[in-house]
Structure 1
């Protein structure tokens, strides 16, 4: 459920500005939008925080996650010593980057000189002092016979299919052709370059060791990071304050049941407070409050980074309900579900033993994996191995019509997918109809009944076109459902408050092409639920393929070697299949909720999560 918000303005005198903001932060219930704050505000704080952030990223992460609470200094006292440490780390990182660049340059130089063996420029300089000019040349192999005679006193050092490498020596007045590729000498010998690389590695290792030694300072850096984040937020909030002569005020949003806390604080601090409902066009933060059983879906929303708009709908319950079904059908394997369930229970028991509460994510995984076990059991799918259905216990769970070894399972599961899709989309339009009855003009809500009628009629069209037209003929009422629904959408879909009925009908007729295209989209949306069958079938097919492969290897190799190879194939194959199934849940299971269902609800997910200004 989306919590009702109130817009509040807190008014104070200019001299009490800082104290007012501190009291509001301590109160911790007012959401203040700071995205329009002056971008120049808090530049110094932002720079300091960037230094701390960079320093934390430089230190290699320890095995035990550090906590700011373990820092010897807290609050403002942590900032200065943390900045000193950060400066040292950043200087070390910059020096290391310079060393990396130098190392890269020297390694390229060694690679360039490698075909020539040991090269010392000092030897060439000594020869030149004695009047002997020695140079290195690369000559194309296919032109060596023509070019090499043009060089004085040539010695061939080595050759390959592409080039011939030669040393040419001029005694006194000899000249070198200017059109041949001369190899420039290095600024130091290859031996000295190798020594320099060793020294660079030693210095970089020292810098890395210093950074690792700073792991003990991570709590201090984290404490400073938290303090600077709060200071930055304080600066941004202060920048949003408006003023007129001696008065200043700040405006934000609070949940309806926190208004009394704001008014009580106003009496205590001598503020003026104005409380009103948000206007229709105002951007309002969204706070979701759901019962504990529904709240377990929140980790999925957090992962997706999606928040419904304040005036949109909270689909948490239906998202959870259908996501559980989608997850079970996409993974589809009771064996995989049992593995997920066992792993989740093990991790949960370890967390409880360590004194940590059971999180929503763990509870969600228990529900999802349990549903997968149930679906896999009734379809007889245990690691894609149908003979397991013959076991006495497992066979008792199987529903013959949808079993993996049943000839009717394909048609029946497709049929179930279309029923699920139709129910899912119908819920969206019924819900939107009921919400529309609370808005003006109420008559516009009838368009949702039109969409509901279209979805129900299109369902029968999908059955006929996709499954079997003989088994699932179009009933007589299907076409009137589609046509009548389309007419209702045209008549009522564009009705607006303050305009006449006929004007709304005119707008609907003008947009008839868009409405027809939306109807076609609804048809494809129902069909898209077949992805539950298709992805589940793919998971089964891959499992069966790896089972067959393992059986073939065990039979061909025989003995212990064959058994070991088969077990390895089964382990790797089913692990890969399970990972692909999990990815498919994200791609397909989430999509059906976030696109198909949400699209029929008219959801845009434009919300901003309620995040009150408070001490964190």
Structure 2
């Protein structure tokens, strides 16, 4: 649900304003409204410094902690040393790249003494370097010219020719630039650069001890940025001597704030927030629904006066995920993994996600039980199961109808929420008649598939159409109602399109079960193909790796498609407006 907000307006003397901001930030419940403006140079500098801290923290978190290199250092010193190391490392990486390229070019020529070449040149002998494909090298060249083959590598022959001054031998090969260094010298240079890089890496590992200190410094910096943003963005009155501050706080968290305001004798006004005030949105749900709040945040927050749909889409999301996975074995993998990992201290930050994984695993087990799929096999084909139990499992046609049926239920549920939302928003039950009319029309269409009430199909549909035309828009006159109602009847095609969208739940589950079956068949081919029981080892590896990859692939689709059905079909049919903004209190980030 959406927590009710209290609106505040403060009048603060400009000299007391900085202290007021610090106190409000310490209390940490007020979402302060600021005017839109461009950042000044001071704020930009602080933001740039925070960004530098962020880069350092992310890089150091990836490092394994090593021996501590610095003691009693300030965050700024650690940051500057980190940036210096990164700069040096970039320069060394560039040097290493050049050396490796040069080594690759010089390596075929082997080790030689550059001074010996200079000595020959001083005596009038020019040393020239040539390459040619091995198949084009002619042994007769060795009789004609003073040459020496140095190396043959990758189908290329490398050789040198010594020419006396004044002569120019016409050798049909490619002359290349003379190497400057021996390959052994370049190897030593590469080793020296690698040694320096290792030393810098060790120092970076030492700096990883300071991640907590850097994180705290970044948080304090962000707090300062928040203060500056509000300080410069607040509205000044009475020639700048008085500052007007407005904001919102949740009803259940205003005790400490009110006590502070009374103790400081600060002039303020407070009233119940309304939709026109555009208050921020804070969600408060039970243990189960709160696990899905982050999913709802992938979309947009609800308006202040409408329903929070988190608790309403959460059960459907679990069932839809289970339908897409469609395998009892995969469900137990999720459930057991969540049970084993949720209480680990190192994973405490991920505990809500691990509990959610357990719920999704339970949903997969329940939905997988309908078709009886277990790691790519079908329980309906197990010979040891009694026939009366085998008949309980749904076949593919029945599973497809079940997916459409559960989608039909969600659409009707969404329309019910839309009816409640309209009546609650407008303060009159008559505004709920439009969605109720659509519920009657859709139920009438569904009645055509139920033999006992099939004769009454058109009576039900026409009743719904009549309500929609006459009462669907109660705030309009009778002619406008009929006209708008007739235009709304075109939406019937949209409802059928929404209904067909739920077939994707069945299709995804079917594709996952087929892939699981293929994994089993490939694994079975390995049996009997290797001696000494190695075939069973390969068999097990194929099953583990194959089903692991299938679980990963199916998990992605099983999350994305229910997400799409929630945000498109369910939110639309629920009349979700979603033009709110989330509650972001002005608070200490270190405490958060």
TM value normalised by structure 2: 0.83
Query: Superposed, which structure 2 residues align to 1:83-232 within 5 Å?
Result: 83-118=76-111, 123-137=116-130, 167=160, 169-174=162-167, 182-232=175-225
Partner of 1:9: helix, strand, or coil?
A: strand
Q: Does 1:23 align with 2:60?
A: no
Tell me what 1:438 maps to: 424
**Mapped partners of 1:563, 1:263: distance in 2:** 71
Find 1:274's aligned residue among 266, 269, 275.
269
Secondary structure, counterpart of 1:340 in structure 2: helix
Match of 2:338 among 318, 327, 344: 344
Residues in 1 aligned to 2:437 and 2:179: alpha-carbon distance in whole angstroms: 81
Structure 1 match to 2:60: 59
Is 1:529 aligned to 2:502, yes or no? yes
What's the counterpart of residue 287 of structure 1?
Answer: 282
Residues 401 and 46 (structure 1 numbering): CA distance in 2 closer, same or farther, change over 3 Å?
A: same
Bigger shift: residues 560-569 or 194-203: 560-569
Residues 424 and 60 of structure 1, relative CA distance in 2, 3 Å threshold? closer
Root-mean-square deviation over aligned CA pairs: 4.2
Q: 1:295 to 1:60 in 2, by over 3 A?
A: closer
Q: Whole-Å Cα distance in 2 between the matches of residues 578 and 274 of structure 1? A: 56
Segment of structure 1 superposing worse, 334-343 or 320-329: 334-343
Q: Is contact 1:5–1:253 with CA below 8 Å preserved after alignment?
A: yes
Shift of 1:475: 5.0
Q: What is the aligned partner in structure 2 of residue 449 from structure 1?
A: 436
Question: 3-state DSSP class of the match of 1:338?
Answer: helix
Match of 2:49? 48
> What are the within-5 Å matches in structure 2 for residues 150-549 of structure 1?
167=160, 169-174=162-167, 182-244=175-237, 245=239, 246-259=241-254, 261-276=256-271, 280=275, 283-301=278-296, 304=298, 307-348=301-342, 350=344, 359-386=351-378, 398=389, 400-403=391-394, 409-440=395-426, 445-453=432-440, 455-456=442-443, 502=479, 512=487, 516=490, 518-549=491-522
Kindly state the Cα deviation for residue 9 of structure 1 after the two structures are TM-superposed: 1.8
* 1:359-388 Cα shifts (integer Å, max 9, x gaps): 433433333323333333454333233468
Change (3 A) 1:388 1:505: closer
| Residues 587-596 or 185-194, more deviating | 185-194
For 2:191 and 2:244, the matched residues in 1 are separated by 64
Any idea what SS the aligned residue of 2:425 has? coil
- C-alpha distance in structure 1 between counterparts of 2:460 and 2:71, whole Å: 72
Aligned to 1:466: none
* Matching residue of 1:36: 36
**3-state DSSP of counterpart to 1:254:** strand
Aligned to 1:285, what secondary structure does the other structure show? coil
CA contact (8 A) 1:445 1:492 kept: no
Name 1:77's counterpart in structure 2: none
Listed as ranges, the gaps of 5+ residues in structure 2 are none
- Are the counterparts in 2 of residues 140 and 164 from structure 1 also a CA contact under 8 Å? yes
Q: CA deviation at 1:338?
A: 2.1
**1:191-238 per-position Cα deviation (integer Å, ceiling 9, x unaligned):** 322211111000000000111122322232222222222222222222
* Secondary structure class of the residue paired with 2:57: helix
Work out whether 1:566 is the aligned partner of 2:539.
Answer: yes
Residues 390 and 347 of structure 1: CA distance in aligned 2, closer, same or farther (over 3 Å): same
- Quick one: which of 566, 574, 577 aligns to 1:601? 574
Describe the superposition over 1:122-159 as per-residue Cα deviations: whole angstroms up to 9, x where unpaired. Answer: 555444433334343556899999xx99x997767667
**Retained in 1: the 8 A contact 2:63–2:204?**
no
1: CA distance, partners of 2:255 / 2:125: 97
Distance in 2, Cα, partners of 1:370 & 1:480? 42
SS of match in other structure, 2:424: coil
Moved more, 118-127 or 333-342: 118-127
* Number of residue pairs aligned between Structure 1 and Structure 2: 577
The worse-fitting range, judged by mean Cα deviation, of 533-542 and 51-60 is 51-60
Change (3 A) 1:175 1:446: farther
Cα deviation for residue 58 of structure 1 reads 3.3
Q: Secondary structure at the match of 1:32?
A: strand
Deviation readout 1:66-95 (Å, 9 max, x if unpaired) = xxxxx999xxxxxx7011011111101110
Judge conservation of contact 1:334–1:381 (CA < 8 Å) in 2: yes
Q: Deviations over 1:17-59 (max 9, x none)?
A: 1111112112211112558354124233323323322322332
- Report the Cα distance in structure 2 between the residues aligned to 1:571 and 1:19, rounded to whole angstroms: 61
1:86-116 CA distance string (max 9 Å, x none)? 1111101110011001111111222233444
Please say if residues 64 and 208 of structure 2, whose CA atoms lie closer than 8 Å, have aligned partners that are also in contact: no
Question: Following the alignment from structure 2 to structure 1, what is the Cα–Cα distance between the partners of residues 413 and 164?
Answer: 96
Per-residue deviation, 1:501? 5.9
Provide structure 1 residue ranges, at least 5 long, that are not aligned to the other structure: 65-70, 74-79, 404-408, 464-470
